[in-house]
Chain A
């Protein structure tokens, strides 16, 4: 009754790629085209392809779909976005200036918890890391730059994209952590384009990278049965040229491949 069509491909010799679910964002395109759109910044899909993985997007999937869809993929990549995690998810009120994406929040809150519970590789970038933290019970600074003792982690306004994504500050990496392994030492320099930041860590999360002001910038979900890391910076930006970024993404890709192998053996 519920059996799926069996693959009929005659191209078995070609390499196959693990699937990575990238939750999309939702926005209008412009004033002349006011319809709602599901969008994904192409650089994340491009990076996933370069890792030898296949991006997959389930448009408009809600929390209720996670249970059915997550078993179909080998990893979850939570991307960055201009929108902020709505503060109601950690017991605060959204700011009037917040750009929000409540539909993405609803999906990712459930997706993070399920991925951790069933050991699907999980990697969060910027908003994605913040979603991991909030989904697991943590909280965020809604404006890092107004907190006493914390730096302004936002990108400069009036420069081009290259300059906005330039390396901006150091991060201190926990000795012996995977971050230190990827960086080849306990210090690295990263880009910084965010207004929100981790305040209280979520359950089972460990801070393994910190900015010079102490802000948590890299996390591991110790309670997860598979690769589950988040970073506040953007390793998908110029990862071809920056070994620290590349090794970080490679580690995620390796975890996805391992998951694909397990999924194959289970079928």
Chain B
């Protein structure tokens, strides 16, 4: 297809970074240009990026990374972050047809995120996912999702009010109970905490190899991790990256990810 494929040396790793570099997987949206003509854009929400910067990590993104190059690119980073997005994981990826018409998908994102998640777990690269990102971790490893929690009628309202301000949308909306004796209980030092909740999809069947660490009162899995704790791979239905400076439990979750990234880099944080 491409006659200009170069014969060139390996150079596509960020080999000289002095702080851990975290690959933030981008989303894709059609946005109007100044004339309203829609064009495809790579988009990254600033909250996840700003959180990484504030925590002393270097965010990076590789737009249009080809699947064959994911291993080489992953070698150059010390962590992967999968943020939320307005789009849904395509139900066909867990063997279901879309339950409703007009669901928004992001096939370009899934082409990168699903193989990247499996590579992270295979190679021990720290991985953290929020909301849609956690759904992708579950689906990548073989789990399935509730396509619409509003139809599940579990008694907990997991979704935001579109008329609220962004800050109100990201405020704590309900409590979750942490698995007694679990790792999240250790990390946060509490057994129950209030979390943000802006989703209408959620984990239905947890993938093999994943362990639930927190539940909403309706039984929905709100946090999970890879069973081998030596591998930092966590999915959160809520948003610890949003307000991690105000919400002490979120801060501890983010700190655990930061520590895992430094450990991957083989160095200790300079501020320690």
Q: Which positions in A face B, CB cutoff 8 Å?
A: 1-5, 7-9, 11-12, 14-19, 22, 24, 26-27, 29-30, 32-43, 45-46, 48-52, 54-60, 65, 68-69, 71-72, 74, 82, 99, 155, 157, 160-161, 164, 250, 253, 257, 260-261, 263-264, 267
Contact = CB atoms under 8 A, between A and B. Distances in A.
Residue picked from B26, B34, B63, B166, most chain A C-beta under 10 Å: B63
Interface size class, chain B: 35 or more
Given A5-B75, A99-B34, A253-B6, 18 more contacts: A2-B267, A5-B264, A11-B71, A11-B72, A12-B10, A16-B10, A18-B8, A18-B11, A35-B166, A41-B40, A54-B65, A54-B73, A57-B62, A58-B60, A59-B24, A59-B46, A59-B60, A264-B11
A5 B35 CA distance: 46
List of 4 A-B pairs having minimum Cβ-Cβ separation, nearest first: A260-B11, A16-B10, A42-B40, A45-B63
B41 A19 contact: no
Interface in B29-81: 29, 31, 33-35, 37, 39-47, 49-50, 53, 58-66, 68-69, 71-73, 75-76, 78
Nearest to B9: A264
Contacts of A52: 2, 4-6, 8
A206 to B, nearest CB: 28
B13 A260 contact: no
B49 A15 contact: no
A40 B108 CA distance: 14
B64 A49 contact: yes
A37 B66 CA distance: 23
A152 to B, nearest CB: 16
Contacts of B31: 27, 29-30, 39
Interface string B1-20: 01011111111111111100
A207 to B, nearest CB: 27
Contacts of A57: 26, 42, 44, 60-63
A72 B17 contact: yes
A130 B39 CA distance: 23
B146 to A, nearest CB: 23
B33 A42 contact: no
Residue picked from B8, B37, B46, B86, most chain A C-beta under 10 Å: B8
Contacts of B34: 82, 99
A260 B63 contact: no
A260 B11 CA distance: 6
A235 to B, nearest CB: 15
Contacts of B42: 24, 39-40, 42, 45, 57
B43 A37 contact: yes
Contacts of A29: 29, 31, 43
B137 interface: no
B204 interface: no
A41 B266 contact: no
Nearest to A99: B34
Contacts of B37: 160-161, 164
B166 A4 contact: no
B162 interface: yes
A61 to B, nearest CB: 8
A161 B5 CA distance: 29
Nearest to B267: A1
Contacts of B76: 7
B145 interface: no
B123 interface: yes
Nearest to A45: B63
A33 B33 CA distance: 16
7 contacts: A1-B267, A14-B68, A38-B49, A42-B39, A57-B60, A68-B18, A264-B11
B28 interface: yes
A3 B268 CA distance: 11
A7 B16 contact: no
B9 A72 contact: no
Contacts of B264: 5
Contacts of B65: 54
A157 B35 contact: yes
Residue picked from A40, A59, A261, most chain B C-beta under 10 Å: A59
B149 interface: no
A257 B9 CA distance: 9
Contacts of A49: 64, 66
Contacts of A35: 45-47, 166
Nearest to B242: A35
Given A52-B4, A253-B6, A40 B60 contact: no
B39 A41 contact: yes
A216 B170 CA distance: 49
Contact of B11 (A16, A43, A155): A16
B106 to A, nearest CB: 12
